[in-house]
Amino acid sequence: MARFLSNQVRVLLAGLLAILPLVLTIGGTYWVGVLLFEWAGPSSAFGSILAAIGLAIVSSRAEAYLIGFLAIVILLYVLGLLVSSQLRTGITSFVSRIMDRTPLIGSVYALLSRFLGAFGKQGRSDVSAMAPVWCFFGGSGGVYHVGLYAGVFHGHRMVLHAPYPGQRVHAQPLWTNAWFPGTLRFR
């Protein structure tokens, strides 16, 4: 009897795992749609701005919202054309300079721009070339500690590591000059 129940539970879980991606896709799409409607729908603050753009042309609030929405879509298309054209490097460097000067937003922007650049035409080699940089601490006696280089934050080179066995991993400024970087390459 226990074996029969075990097999039935296994079949039930297999069915659940088979349908789970479809359910998550539908649920995720619904959630994003509801979220976008709350943020940009006609009754939201952004929707009111869209309607205000269109109310200069028509008197119906629904038509005004659609006209405002189309105006934003056209504006985004023009921006996309500018970014795709030869002006891309100038616009990108201008926005990057502004974002780099903003402490927290600059870090997030740099990470997102590198990640999203992977989806561009030239970005594929950038992602394949990425590798974590390990910090090996030691000297002539050998390596005594390993951490993961986390970049520069407020002028300090940061490393992710657990200082002692049993402690949690956290970010800390590099405390010594007796370290060397390294990467692992798999063939």
pLDDT at 124: 46
97 within domain boundaries: yes
* Same structural domain, 76 and 114: yes
CA separation, residue 115 to residues 48, 71, 96 (Å): 33, 29, 14
Q: Are strands 170-173 and 179-182 parallel, antiparallel or unpaired?
A: unpaired
Q: What is the pLDDT of residue 119?
A: 57
pLDDT of residue 127: 47
Q: How many domains does the chain have?
A: 2
| Together in a domain, 118 and 138 | no
H or E element, residue 169: none
104 domain residue, yes or no: yes
Pair 134, 181: CB distance under 8 Å: yes
Residue 159 lies in a domain: yes
Residues 109 and 70 in one domain: yes
Q: Residue 84: inside a domain, yes or no?
A: yes
Q: Output the tens digit of pLDDT for each of the chain's 187 residues.
A: 777 778 888 888 888 888 888 888 888 889 988 998 888 888 888 888 888 888 888 888 888 888 888 888 898 888 888 777 766 677 677 777 887 777 777 777 777 776 666 555 554 445 455 567 888 888 777 888 888 888 888 888 888 888 888 888 888 898 888 887 887 766 6
State the residue range of the domain holding 70: 65-129
141, 108: one domain: no
Note the pTM of the prediction, 2 decimals: 0.38
* Contact assessment for residue 91 and residue 82, using Cβ atoms and an 8 Å cutoff: yes
pLDDT recorded at residue 7: 82
Question: 148 has which bridge partners?
Answer: 134, 160
Q: Does the residue 57 lie in any domain?
A: no
Q: Are residues 125 and 110 in the same domain?
A: yes
Decide if 155 is inside a domain. yes
Asked if 155 and 142 sit in the same domain, the reply is: yes
Task: Please tell me the predicted confidence (pLDDT) of residue 186.
Answer: 63
Is 144 found in the same domain as 121? no
**113 and 158: one domain?**
no
Q: Is residue 142 part of a domain?
A: yes
Residue 117, token pair as written in the block: 């650049």
Same domain, 109 and 143: no
Quick one: 85 and 115 in the same domain? Answer: yes
On whether residue 43 sits in a domain, the answer given is no
